[in-house]
Structure formats: C-alpha cells, structure tokens
Amino acid sequence: MTSSEPLAMDATAARLPQTAALENVAGGERGPAGAELMDRAITAVVEVEHAIRRLTALRTLILNTARRQVPVAEVALLDPASPAARSPLTEQRAELAHRAFVADLATALQLPETTTSRLVDEAEVLVEELPRTLDAMAEGTLSYRHAQVIADHTDGLDAPARAAVEAAVLPFAATSTPTGLGRRARRARELAHPEALAERHQRAAADRCVRLDPAPDGMAWLSAFLPAVQGHAILDRLDHAARTLAGPDEPRTPDQLRTDTFAALLLDTPGTDPRAGAGGVAAGTDDALAHHARGLTPRVAVTVPVLTLLGGGEPATLEGYGPISPDVARKLAAAAPSFTRILTHPETGAVLSVGRTSYAVPADLRRHLAVRDGTCRFPGCGRPAARCDADHVTAFVDGGATDAANLLHLCRRHHRLKHETSWQVRVDDRTHDAVWTSPTGREHVVPPAVVVGSDPPDGSARGVSARAVAGGDLPGGSPPAARNRDNTRPPPF
C-alpha cells in the first residue's frame, strides 16, 4: 500500500458515515474482541450487498420504464429528414429508435452498447416475465447475477413453463451461488419444457464450434461448444492424466498438467525436447504426456431412470452437469461395463452402512453418496463429488460410523477447512441437509442434490434408477471401482 492510499481510504470513509462503527476493525485486536469486530464487518458487508441488490432492482424497473417510452419518443429519437424516419416500415423505425436509445444510455453509463443492450433486454424480461424474481431482488435476497441465471434458463419457454421454473428455483436462490442455482435451473427447465430434450439437443448440436480468443502476454483462450457428454469425457481424461502424473518430483500444478496434456494430445508433435514443457519450462516430455493420456479411457457417470432404459422419455442426469436426452443416455448405458442400482427403493443391495467396522467407505456406498451429494457439500462449492473425499461428519476416531447419515462429500480444500478451522457441520436426520456454522456463527444450509429416502407411506416403490459409468461412447471403459482410487484412503490430516 502506498502512502497516499490510507489518505484516500480515510477520505472515502468520511463520505460514508456508516463506517464509523467499524473504524476499529483495522486495529488488529486479537481474541474475542477481534472476532466480534470481524463479525460486525461481515454483517456490514452483507447489508451493503443487500442495499446494492435493492438498488439494482430499482435500476431494472427504471430501465424498463425508459424502454417502454421509446415508441412514444420515436419522433425525438430519429432525424425527421432521414429515410428511416419517413419509411413506412414500422419495424425499421422502431429498431433505429431503440438503437438510438441504447446508445444514449450507454454513453451516459460509460458502458459498451452491447452491455447496455443486454441490461435493457434483461430489464424487460425481469419486469414483464419474471416478477417474483424481481421482487426477491428488491427484497435484497437475490443478486442480479442470480436473476440473470433464472432469466437465461427460462429463455424461450412459454408462460406456464417459465412460471414453473421460477417457482421451482426461487426457494433455493437465497442459499445458492449462481452456479449452484444454474444446476437446479437446468433440471427444472427440462421438467417444464414442452419440447423433447432430444430434439433441442439435436438442434443445439448443429452450432458446435471451436473458438480462439487472444489474451495478454502471448497467451490465448481455446474454447469449444460441444455436447456435454463429450466435454465431460474430455475433462475426465485430462483430470485422470493430471492426477496420475502428479507427484513430489513433478513441478507443474494440476492445471498446468491438464493444459500440457491437452496440447500434447492435439498437436502430437514428435521430437520435443525431453525436458521442455509449455513455454520451455523444464517439466517432462510432451510425447510421454500424449502417450500416457491416450492410454486412459474417459469416463462419465450417468444416472438413468430404469423406464428410460426401457424406452421411456424421462431425461437422465450427467454427473456434474444435469439433464441429458434419453437417447444419449441409452447409448452410454449400452457401453457401460456395469450398473449400480441407486436407492430410491428400499434395500436394493447397496451397502448403506458398515457401522464401526471400517473407516474405508465401500464402493457401493460411495456411489450412493455421489448421487445424493452431487458436489462438495460446503456452501457454494461446485466441485463434483467424483473428485471429493467422503468425509465422516463425526470423526471415526470420535465414534462416528461409516454410514450414509455420517458421510458427506467434501473437496480437499473444504475437507481441510472443516478439520483445521472453527467451521462446523451437522446433518439433518430428516432432510439430509448439511447445516454449516461459520466462525462468526452464521448458518448455511446445503441440501442434497438428490433426496434418497425410504418408501412412501403406502409402501410403493418410488422408482429405481441405474447409475452407469461409461467410457465415453466407447465400450470397454474402466469399471466403476477404478473411480476415486485416491479417496479410499483417509486424507493426511
């Protein structure tokens, strides 16, 4: 921090009298007093965020009001001497008037016209089509990014389907990150959409493409728009390569290993310097990376309703993504070397508890937990369960059992956070919600991705699903037992 920065901060604080109550936070007090000041600071930040959300909702309302005035102000927005103003084509005049309005607004806000145009379009959607979402934002419980997610996932739906998706996801919006809300919205959209997923997928797949975008410092972003199953299979192969190549003598990070493997597979250039990695960094052999990665079979995990396997139309669920079309699911299932039934009907054969006899989590119990949890169960974390540890909520050494009620998937980062900080978690016996308590006493509830419970009161089956781990579109993929090899051992803490 430069000598002028504290003066600037003091000047800003002077214009914000609300900060006076927090002026001692910078004093660095230790112990309970310091924790109390930190709690007050977090509370203040949350209150500011809620105020920003309320103001953003007000901005949205005003933007839509201005947009609705464009037809009325068309004469003022167009040059009366221009051909467009005299054109009998109403749509052409309306489009030019709208562009003039957006340009006026963009220059006033000092924003690009494309950004401003999207703000105006989203204002129309939120005010005219998603009023409950706008109300939640006006109450401060929903951020603008959350509202954008709901708008994106209701785009193209008719009014009843749009209302159904909004009603399904809004209860979770206040406790979800935008990414987590997006996962729920995808599922809700598939249930509400009047058109079959297979038809929409076929139409969307026609737009598949690869893009290269320049970045600073001699770098670039390479992205691909492709079917979700292929994307997840590609990432699984890169992840598997990075995990098996990592070690005490490997200087590259997992991200660097994935990137180098990706480049080596695509470029396939022999004669590379044996010690040269990306950018000339001594990091191993690119030829060896490509050779190793080709020996790996990409795997994707799909949960398929049994009736879908028999020709039904209910979507399946691709782990880490969401719904996929029944046709794609059946093709993957045909290539899967094995199946595991998931407990939506009692006593299907899955081991749901080994009590106190073993710390290690059996494979069938792990698969059950992966479907139930979906991702790391820390608030806001979206790391897939397949790349997480199965953690004992009550530690095994403290008497905790190795069963579904006492196990949660946590990524290594949040596994360590649970064990080494004052974050605490408990699991609700009835709902299976993970209830986290932060160091400052705030509670965060993380529901399971799938509620897997007992029979309904009438004793009828709630339905049975099959979980297939398939080697992409290829038969002969590695068996499910090969997944999560690293998670069979307790973490080093």
The packing angle between helices 144-154 and 113-128, to 10°, is 80
Distance CA 316, CA 318 (A): 7
pLDDT tens-place string over residues 385-415: 888 888 999 888 888 888 888 899 999 999 9
DSSP alpha helix (H) spans, 273-377: 286-294, 306-309, 326-335, 363-373
Task: For 239-266, give the DSSP string.
Answer: HHHHHHH-STT--S-HHHHHHHHHHHHH
CA pair distance 438, 377, nearest whole angstrom: 14
pLDDT single digits (tens) 73-92 = 877 777 666 766 566 656 77
Strand partners, 426: 435
Q: Which residues contact 242 (CB under 8 A, 6 or more apart)?
A: 254, 257, 258, 261
The 10s digit of each residue's pLDDT in 248-262 is: 888 889 899 999 989
How many angstroms separate the CA atoms of 392 and 359, rounded? 9
DSSP state of 129: T
What is the structure's pLDDT at 282?
38
Return the bridge partners of 407, or none: 392
For residue 449, the model assigns a pLDDT of 83
The pLDDT value recorded for residue 436 is 94
Full DSSP string of 22-43: GTTGGG---SHHHHHHHHHHHH
pLDDT of residue 89: 59
Per-residue pLDDT of the chain (493 residues), as tens digits, is 454 444 454 555 555 555 555 554 445 555 567 778 888 899 999 999 999 999 999 999 999 999 998 888 877 777 666 766 566 656 777 888 888 899 999 999 999 999 999 999 999 999 999 999 999 999 999 999 999 999 999 998 999 999 999 999 999 888 889 988 998 898 899 888 888 888 888 898 999 999 999 889 889 999 999 998 889 888 888 888 888 888 888 888 989 999 998 988 888 655 444 334 444 433 445 566 566 556 656 666 677 776 777 777 777 777 767 788 888 877 777 766 655 444 333 334 343 444 444 556 777 778 778 878 888 999 988 888 888 888 999 888 888 888 888 899 999 999 999 988 999 999 998 888 999 999 888 899 998 887 654 333 333 333 445 555 555 443 333 333 333 333 333 343 3
Nearest to 385 by CA among 405, 367, 401: 367
Residue 424 CB partners (closer than 8 Å, separation 6+):
418, 436, 437
* Residue-level pLDDT at 273: 40
pLDDT on residue 488:
36
Task: Count CA atoms closer than 13 A to 395's CA, side-chain side.
Answer: 10
- Per the CB < 8 A criterion, the answer to whether 331 and 473 are in contact is yes
Total length of the chain: 493
The C-alpha atoms of residue 445 and residue 438 are separated, in whole angstroms, by 11
pLDDT at 102: 92
pLDDT of residue 452: 56
Unique residue bearing structure tokens 């996801």: 169
| pTM across the whole model | 0.65
